[in-house]
Structure 1
Amino acid sequence: MYNRIKPFLIIFLSMPLFWSCSDDLDLTPEDYRETPEDIFQDPDAYKEFLSKLYAGLAVSGQEGPAGDPDLIGLDEGFSQYLRLYWMLQELPTEEAVIGWNDEGLPNLHAQNWTSGNPFIRTMYSRIMYQVALTNEFLRQSGEESISGFSEAEQATIREFRAEARFLRALSYYHALDMYGNPPFVSEEDIVGAFLPEQIQRQELFNWIESELLAIENEMVPARGNEYGRADRGAVWMLLAKLYLNAEVYTGTERYSDVVTYTNNIINANYSLVDDYEYLFLADNDENGAQNEIIFPIRYHGINTATYGGLTYVIHAAVGGDMNPAEFGVNSGWGGLRTTPQFVNQFPNGAESEDERAMFHTEGQSLEINNISSFSNGYAVTKYKNVDVDGNQGSDATGEMVDTDFPMFRLGDVYLMYAEAVVRGGGGDMSQAVSYVNELRERAYGGSGNNISASDLTPDFILSERARELFWEAHRRTDLIRFGQFSDRGIWAWKGGVPQGTTTGAYRDLFPIPSSDIGVNTNLEQNPGY
């Protein structure tokens, strides 16, 4: 949908932000060639604007892969939304390490970051930029603004408006999960320079919940929208995620609501793709994986070129003795690997019969004695820029990739349902076991490794989530929910030492960037920073 954006809308949406953005979340551009009133005389402008909202998750500016950034002063590869989100969800855990020494990067896995960390700061800025864009879309799509269009055009714009509210709720969910107490701005706030008030975690949880419930029936029915656009299934999924982590966010468990909304999704005609590998290939929008994927971030090697997203994940995971051509790329960047603790989540490690154990071991050591050396730690081969027949993606140079990122998918829903049942949320234990076994039968090619109800413990679920969902940007949130992220779990180089060590529990939240604390007197820093 967002492969092309009309030039006049690019002008309207070119709102570069700097490192600190609390005081300019809703700055209007100074170089209008047309006013919003001029632009939105055309109903097609609303779809173009909506395209930009989706594109904000996938690319970093107006000219891929670089050249006209959304955020001034940042490397466009480093500052891309999904790349940052993936890094903050994966690098502080046992699922991923990286050997590069860019400022602030080693601190993510070591869990010794500060409030000045550039990656933590830039994720925060990227979230706030997305919020600013969605707020402007909502200002321009109210009933008064669209009253001059035909009834059919108004109905379509209302659907777009619901999607925009979902995308804003998604970004605020990321802020809730990672930062806890961010500044809060909505379409009701004035446009211009002001200092937003800080919202507390419980209040933000309540707001996100109310937004999603308000738009639930305004969204296109589950599986009824274009692939890549949000529908009711995506709303149910975000609600289920919110409720799954409610005890962390608010101190009150909501597992019965997880059962309700995962059941809604399961009953909406999604289906597991037969081959697990298909979920992570360049044609995962058409090889059957699209029936399992509930909400993707879409990529195309030519039309959504970026050094972020899965271009980053695929290239950075290739190095050493690995052949880049097998992954559909022209080079390996030699950075990302995994820890022995993650490899050992699989029976027999890299030799496991579990087809989800996707590791390259030749020329690699299991142990990580030198975190800067790509040969230390097994490489992960999960994502590829090739289709089911081994053909490279659309970019003939092999630089950019076509592989979509499956942010939400049915395999996760099955595991969420099972966890909610085990945690006392109701539901059906035999059904929970059945869902987990469906995933394991796919992974093992049969039922020889099925589990029974007695096996379905919290520890098993956490490990099964690692095996099923690794490198899909869930692990940090999962470890925090299970109390294994900071002051309990230990893995290689956590705490900055080879054998790993615990860290302070306050690191379950990232800090509010010091640059924003310095300019917005309404903000208080998260404890510990």
Structure 2
Amino acid sequence: MKISFKNSSYLFLLILGLNMLFTSCSNDLNVTPKDDDEFLSETFFNDPDSYKQVLAKLYAGLYVGGNDGDASADIAGIGGDFSSYLRLIFLMQEVTTDEAVIGWGDGTLPTLNTQTWSPSNEFLYGIFSRSYYEISTANEFLRQTTDEKLTSRGVSNELKAEIQYYRAEARFLRAFSYTQLMDLFGNVPITTEDDPVGFFYPKQKTRAEVFAYVESELKDLQTALKASKTNEYGRIDQTAAKFLLAQIYLNSKVYTGVEKNNETVTLCNDIITTSGYTFANVPYRYLFAADNNRNGAQTETIFPIVSDGLLIRATGAGMSFILHASIGGSMDASASGMDGGWWGLRTRKEFVQSFPDATATGDKRGTFYTNGQSLDINAIGSFTDGYAVTKYKNVNANGTAAQKNDIPDTDFPMFRLSDVYLMYAEATLRGGTGGNLTTALGYINAIRARANATPILIGALNLDFILAERGRELFWECHRRTDLIRFGKFTGGSKLWQFKGGVQAGVATPAYRDLMPIPATAIQANPTLVQNDGYVN
């Protein structure tokens, strides 16, 4: 895909003194850009173009790990490829569940497959650090775009008005990062543009306090952001704020102990009926093709993480990781539009069995590669153990080639309307007022009709079905861990999958693993942080 500010963003060197969230005398513990000499002075903002460039950097941070693709990492001690936000979210949300397994032995990566991670896991430190890096960048942008500063620099009234939307987008991306932190780690610090720049220990907040902060921000952003579908493709609008708010409301019982299904129904109904986003009446595969920004799939994509094979030269980040890592064995990489495979990602037996077959006959969403692959995983390190997944392709919907075969063009659909349909149905089943089961059934059967799956009757519409259908519709879209926790099936023994708990057949795991541990490195840098129950630093 392409958005107008991309060229100026990915190679652009960021910002002035970012807020030192976790500072120590050892540079590799700093959740900051790795070279303080790269900080630019305030004179940087004398250029009117600088404001959009920094906003672009915030968006770019969702995909790449540095200012020059993989080559220049934002975060000390973590490579630009391994610290890609999308890559890390994928590891947390997919590899820890029944939907994915990864065969590589890098550091503590194998413990994500088996729910045996510890506070020393460097990938947990990666997602923790990346989230706070994005937050720090947003905070500094907000400090530098106050009315007072803009007036002092002689910024025109026209640009000032546009910068107000930039500020709202920065606040949304900050809220998105706090949502990831709240979901993964629970009790985390909150810092904003009002906090001092420099050395200090930010206070750790309860999960409920983080929820309240995110909720307040998203409520305000429903009017502060540009109206639905009036922003450039790839940038946030009011509907994205409503989506994220509906998402945290659906998970409110987990985060705060209080259900907010009524609020979820109201927001989902608003998005479905008034936002202008529409269900994409195209084959399911179009949603994950190289031209999914223009082949009809874009009508339901509320928040994409954008990709571009020419402009984003990041071989190990974002969609490049997801596509390369999912190719191996006897697979023809060119069929997915790629130059080769890394023999890493597959799915697990139990997830395959949620489909009527493994050949995409009874459900077009069941896109598995089975030739030379065994359904059972006997050795996680063997790529041919477990069916491969071919959901994403770096090929245009009509079969023509993408721009490049080493870096994909395929945009990642972080939020889409199909998920709103599913959230509406689930919240209605959970008792949300204002919801209608017949309406929910219609939404579910629209999703299934696109996949050529058999429609269901009202009697089959229950919470177990919703969890399974969310998996079939949204797999490998970074929702599964959160979904399983909400349904009480991530830990414990009510739902098992191969190698859950480190045993081939799968075993129950302790409930404290519904939360990830606060990384030990972060606690060393900020000793006021308290570790989550069950973990030992």
TM range (shorter): over 0.9
Q: When the two structures are superposed, what TM-score results if normalisation uses the length of structure 1?
A: 0.95
- Whether the aligned pair in 1 keeps the contact of 2:104 and 2:344 (CA below 8 Å) is yes
Change beyond 3 A, Cα 1:158–1:465: same
From 253, 260, 268, the equivalent of 1:247 is 253
Q: Deviations over 1:35-73 (max 9, x none)?
A: 21x222233211111000000001111112x22211122
In 2, the alpha carbon distance for the partners of 1:339 and 1:140 equals 48
From 412, 426, 447, the equivalent of 1:419 is 426
Q: Return the offset for 1:75.
A: 2.4
1:391 aligns with 2:397: no
1:172 aligns with 2:178: yes
1:103 aligns with 2:94: no
Unaligned runs of 5+ in 2: none
In 1, the alpha carbon distance for the partners of 2:287 and 2:213 equals 33
Q: Return the offset for 1:23.
A: 8.3
- Whether the aligned pair in 2 keeps the contact of 1:15 and 1:70 (CA below 8 Å) is no
1:404 aligns with 2:407: no
Q: Is the deviation greater in 23-32 or in 273-282?
A: 23-32
In 2, the alpha carbon distance for the partners of 1:14 and 1:334 equals 40
Q: Return the offset for 1:19.
A: 9.4
Q: Return the offset for 1:7.
A: 10
1:10 aligns with 2:17: no
SS of the aligned residue for 1:408 comes to strand
Q: Deviations over 1:348-403 (max 9, x none)?
A: 344641000000011111111111111111110100111012223212xx211111
1:490 aligns with 2:478: no
In 2, the alpha carbon distance for the partners of 1:313 and 1:167 equals 22
Change beyond 3 A, Cα 1:321–1:478: same
Change beyond 3 A, Cα 1:501–1:6: closer
Change beyond 3 A, Cα 1:528–1:174: same
Residues 276-315 of structure 1 mapped to structure 2, 5 A cutoff: 276-306=284-314, 307-315=316-324
In 2, the alpha carbon distance for the partners of 1:260 and 1:95 equals 30
Q: Residue 459 of structure 2 corresponds to which residue in structure 1?
A: 454
1:520 aligns with 2:529: no
Change beyond 3 A, Cα 1:80–1:114: same
Q: Deviations over 1:157-199 (max 9, x none)?
A: 0010001000000000000100111122111111112111111
Q: Deviations over 1:486-525 (max 9, x none)?
A: 1132100111111011111000010000111123122100
- Whether the aligned pair in 1 keeps the contact of 2:7 and 2:311 (CA below 8 Å) is yes
The RMSD of aligned alpha carbons is 2.1
Q: Return the offset for 1:218.
A: 1.2
Change beyond 3 A, Cα 1:222–1:18: closer
- Whether the aligned pair in 2 keeps the contact of 1:328 and 1:391 (CA below 8 Å) is no
In 1, the alpha carbon distance for the partners of 2:377 and 2:9 equals 48
SS of the aligned residue for 1:413 comes to helix
Q: Residue 79 of structure 1 corresponds to which residue in structure 2?
A: 83
Structure 1 outlier segments of 4+, above 4 Å: 6-9, 13-30
Residues 116-155 of structure 1 mapped to structure 2, 5 A cutoff: 116-147=120-151, 148-155=154-161
Q: Residue 338 of structure 2 corresponds to which residue in structure 1?
A: 329
Change beyond 3 A, Cα 1:17–1:498: farther
Q: When the two structures are superposed, what TM-score results if normalisation uses the length of structure 2?
A: 0.93
- Whether the aligned pair in 1 keeps the contact of 2:134 and 2:177 (CA below 8 Å) is yes
- Whether the aligned pair in 1 keeps the contact of 2:491 and 2:514 (CA below 8 Å) is yes
- Whether the aligned pair in 2 keeps the contact of 1:12 and 1:29 (CA below 8 Å) is no
SS of the aligned residue for 1:132 comes to helix
In 2, the alpha carbon distance for the partners of 1:44 and 1:198 equals 36
Quick one: which amino acid aligns to residue 317 of structure 2?
Answer: G
Change beyond 3 A, Cα 1:16–1:239: closer
Quick one: which amino acid aligns to residue 148 of structure 2?
Answer: E
1:466 aligns with 2:471: yes
In 2, the alpha carbon distance for the partners of 1:8 and 1:85 equals 23
In 2, the alpha carbon distance for the partners of 1:6 and 1:101 equals 33
Change beyond 3 A, Cα 1:239–1:11: closer
